[in-house]
Amino acid sequence: MTEQAPYLSGLVLTGRRVVVVGGGGVAQRRLPRLLETGAQIDLISPAITPTIEGLLTNPDLRWVERGYAPGDLEGAWYVVVATDDAAVNDQVSAEAEERRIFCVRSDDRARATAWTPASGQHDHVTIGVLGGGDHRRSAAVRDAILEELRTGALGARDSLDKKPGVYLVGGGPGDPDLITVRGRRLLAEADVVVADRLAPQPLLEELHSDVELIDAAKLPRGRSAQQEEINRILVDRAQQGKVVVRLKGGDPYVFGRGFEEAIACAEAGVPWTVVPGITSSISVPAVSGIPVTHRGVTHEFTVVSGHIPPGHPDSLINWPALAQLQGTLVLLMAVENLPKITETLIRHGRSAATPAAAIADGTLPGQRMITSDLAGIATAMSTEGIGAPAIVVIGNVVEIAKLVRQ
């Protein structure tokens, strides 16, 4: 006899009693999604996992600390049976059948009256997939659909949920795979993209043909003039009712002037949202094998912009104080001023022998790294032709990285 196809339906469980019998791994996987529904859940089990114990802070979850007893399903709308005792599972499902309550069984799909789909959620869309008992296939199909939704490949351009405004998106350190899921989806939904030169360039090739792409590097020269024009464009396009993505390298607020753009939007009454990105100050050393902190080696790391040299009247950095720190120092935008920076750090107390590394084009196919010490890193960079964009890491973490370097 051919197995009948199930009828998929979305259960509204808010405020309704749900019973889960069993406190092991299956229940642990089912409970988070059930709690999201707002159901009133009674968990019946003499023991529970530490993770489930952590969920008991949710007032919608009550632990009945004993085994199942007849009558436990009174008033329930939905039952999940998740014990490793077949006899108990039979008792629970028999009572559920008698009371006409849909029951999921983790041990015997054929004897259940409901099946749990491989499910996931994106924005206001919930995905549920039943693979005829093949859980791996169900999960794979679900994941593929969610990935398409998250990246914008499925239905993004025609989405009814598109909200006009400005989105300040951090693109990550360079590798297009390191942008956040939300950042990639917003690019797929964008009407206008204003991109920095350090933004992941392959992502721009994926933009829909009718997207207005504005290269921020080609706007009027001069930092102030350029920023004013970027602000004007963001506000202007958003006021036209468009979805505007301001795509930056790294994180919008880490030396990216992103908050200046947020202020401009706020002053113009334009809705804006920040989408954080993976900052290169942490990620680039990480992919190069250098941890910015390590137990027993450093308890702090400091990220510093080196675009203004020590002693300059516009500098806001206390270089003598930085020289006294023992932790990791990460320098961004410091290639040009590195000789003066290293000289200043040494003069104010940082050992000239402190290990140092310079990483160019981090996370990209052409990534290069050299190591030296604080006294010699600037010369080594010049000799090896390491130019901007590059990140300099100073500290003992550079030395311990040799423990795992191939």
Select the more confidently predicted residue: 260 or 151.
Answer: 260
What is the distance between the alpha carbons of residues 204 and 174, in angstroms, rounded to a whole number? 12
Whether residue 210 sits in one domain with residue 308: no
Residue 1 has pLDDT above 50, yes or no: no
Whether residue 236 sits in one domain with residue 304: no
pLDDT-derived band at 225 (thresholds 50, 70, 90) equals low
CB 89 within 8 A of CB 71: no
The residue from 245, 275, 305 where one domain ends is 275
The residue from 94, 128, 151 where one domain ends is 151
Whether residue 110 sits in one domain with residue 122: no
Number of independent structural domains in the chain:
4
> What are the b/e assignments for 65-92, b being 16+ CB within 10 Å?
eeebeeebbeebbbbbbbbeeeebbebb
User: Which CATH number do you get for residue 68?
Assistant: 3.40.50.720
User: Is 340 annotated as catalytic?
Assistant: no
pLDDT-derived band at 152 (thresholds 50, 70, 90) equals low
Select the more confidently predicted residue: 153 or 76.
Answer: 76
Portion of the chain with pLDDT greater than 90, in percent:
70
Whether residue 354 sits in one domain with residue 307: yes
Residue 363 has pLDDT above 90, yes or no: yes
Q: Is 226 within the bounds of a domain?
A: yes
Whether residue 399 sits in one domain with residue 285: yes
CA distances from 279 to 246, 358, 363, 391 (A): 16, 16, 12, 11
Task: Give pLDDT, residue 256.
Answer: 87
Task: Give the mean pLDDT of the chain.
Answer: 90
Whether residue 109 sits in one domain with residue 29: yes
Task: Give pLDDT, residue 178.
Answer: 95
Q: Is 1 within the bounds of a domain?
A: no
pLDDT-derived band at 371 (thresholds 50, 70, 90) equals very high
User: 196, 242, 251, 361: which one is catalytic?
Assistant: 196
Q: Report the range of poorest mean pLDDT among 164-168, 178-182, 273-277, 338-342.
A: 178-182
User: Which CATH number do you get for residue 319?
Assistant: 3.30.950.10
Whether residue 90 sits in one domain with residue 145: no
Task: Give pLDDT, residue 372.
Answer: 96
Whether residue 143 sits in one domain with residue 45: no
Q: How many residues can be counted in the chain?
A: 406
Portion of the chain with pLDDT greater than 70, in percent:
94
CB 49 within 8 A of CB 23: yes
Q: Report the range of poorest mean pLDDT among 130-134, 157-161, 367-371.
A: 157-161
Task: Give pLDDT, residue 140.
Answer: 84
User: 158, 161, 210, 218: which one is catalytic?
Assistant: 218
pLDDT-derived band at 158 (thresholds 50, 70, 90) equals low
What is the distance between the alpha carbons of residues 395 and 304, in angstroms, rounded to a whole number? 14
Residue 223 has pLDDT above 70, yes or no: no
Task: Give pLDDT, residue 156.
Answer: 53
Q: Is 7 within the bounds of a domain?
A: no
Whether residue 287 sits in one domain with residue 266: no
Q: Is 367 within the bounds of a domain?
A: yes
Q: Report the range of poorest mean pLDDT among 139-153, 196-210, 357-371.
A: 139-153
What is the distance between the alpha carbons of residues 16 and 221, in angstroms, rounded to a whole number? 62
Residue 174 has pLDDT above 60, yes or no: yes
Whether residue 271 sits in one domain with residue 175: yes
Q: Is 12 within the bounds of a domain?
A: no
What is the distance between the alpha carbons of residues 140 and 120, in angstroms, rounded to a whole number? 12
Q: Parallel, antiparallel, or unpaired for β 118-122 and 192-195?
A: unpaired
Stated as kind and residue range, the H or E segment containing 321 is helix 319-324
Residue 222 has pLDDT above 80, yes or no: no
Domain that holds residue 61: 17-116
Q: Is 156 within the bounds of a domain?
A: no
Select the more confidently predicted residue: 305 or 143.
Answer: 305
Whether residue 264 sits in one domain with residue 328: no
Which DSSP letter does residue 3 get? P
pTM of the model as a whole: 0.71
CB 204 within 8 A of CB 193: yes
Q: List, for residues 248-294, the tens digit of each pLDDT value.
A: 999 999 998 999 999 999 999 999 999 999 999 999 999 999 999 99
Q: Is 378 within the bounds of a domain?
A: yes
Among 236, 225, 154, which residue's Cα sits nearest to residue 191?
236
What is the distance between the alpha carbons of residues 42 and 365, in angstroms, rounded to a whole number? 53
User: Is 402 annotated as catalytic?
Assistant: no
Q: Is 158 within the bounds of a domain?
A: no
Q: List, for residues 311-361, the tens digit of each pLDDT value.
A: 999 999 999 999 999 999 999 999 999 999 999 999 999 999 999 999 999
Task: Give pLDDT, residue 3.
Answer: 60
